[in-house]
A and B are shown apart, each in its own frame.
Chain A
Amino acid sequence: EAEVAQSPRYKITEKSQAVAFWCDPISGHATLYWYRQILGQGPELLVQFQDESVVDDSQLPKDRFSAERLKGVDSTLKIQPAELGDSAMYLCASSVRDNQPQHFGDGTRLSIL
């Protein structure tokens, strides 16, 4: 089982609702990543944190998505309002530093009805 903790494992909600995902990285990992993975495709980076600071969020749809890592440890990713096209697996990963291998959580599978 992956050491990066994510919850919930599954989320089903209706469009226009708000959803939130939580990630607890491996202890001591300064860099945290949120990815979106559509079925049959590779993960796509949404946002990268170094400690509590955002390093890259160029691919994050900021009109509806937000991410925070207030104390530089765990992180939340929020979508409001959710759209049908947001259905995907949302993966969190962490690494000791940004040039080290990333370790992934089991992900949250989101289904928008």
Chain B
Amino acid sequence: GQNIDQPTEMTATEGAIVQINCTYQTSGFNGLFWYQQHAGEAPTFLSYNVLDGLEEKGRFSSFLSRSKGYSYLLLKELQMKDSASYLCAVKRGNAGNMLTFGGGTRLMVKP
């Protein structure tokens, strides 16, 4: 089996930094994705980590530690439009590279 955990909700202030954590237990780990999903819209790809370390892409960064089964998404200089759900998804190489999603973290950015 597999288990992916992320906080259900988080609140942060515009202009601040927020870190959204994701822990996982899975077999055949072959990478971790982060997606953003605004209410009623499609998930959009943010980042992909397969090796340990930090991947930076503009205001968003994602970190992975495979030995700890842990990842985080870091959002800097928060904007109101960053209010959305953030989905952590683990890819399993021993299962056709299928993705298993966590429940998502709903981030609310306040002025």
Residues of chain A at the chain B interface (Cβ within 8 Å): 2, 4, 33, 40-45, 48, 50, 55-56, 91, 98-99, 101-107, 109
Contact = CB atoms under 8 A, between A and B. Distances in A.
By secondary structure, the B interface counts as strand
Contacts of A91: 42-43
B7 interface: no
A99 B35 CA distance: 15
Given A105-B42, A106-B41, A99 B30 contact: yes
Nearest to B89: A42
Contacts of A40: 103-104
Contacts of A4: 42
Contacts of B100: 45
B87 A43 contact: yes
Interface residues of B, number: 25
A45 to B, nearest CB: 6
A98 B44 CA distance: 17
Contacts of B44: 2, 104
By secondary structure, the A interface counts as loop
B7 to A, nearest CB: 13
B101 A42 contact: yes
A78 B95 CA distance: 24
A44 B42 contact: no
A42 B103 contact: yes
Nearest to B47: A101
Given A2-B42, A42-B103, 18 more contacts: A2-B44, A4-B42, A41-B104, A42-B4, A42-B87, A44-B101, A45-B99, A48-B96, A55-B96, A55-B98, A56-B98, A99-B30, A99-B31, A99-B97, A101-B33, A104-B35, A104-B44, A109-B40
Interface in B37-77: 40-45, 48
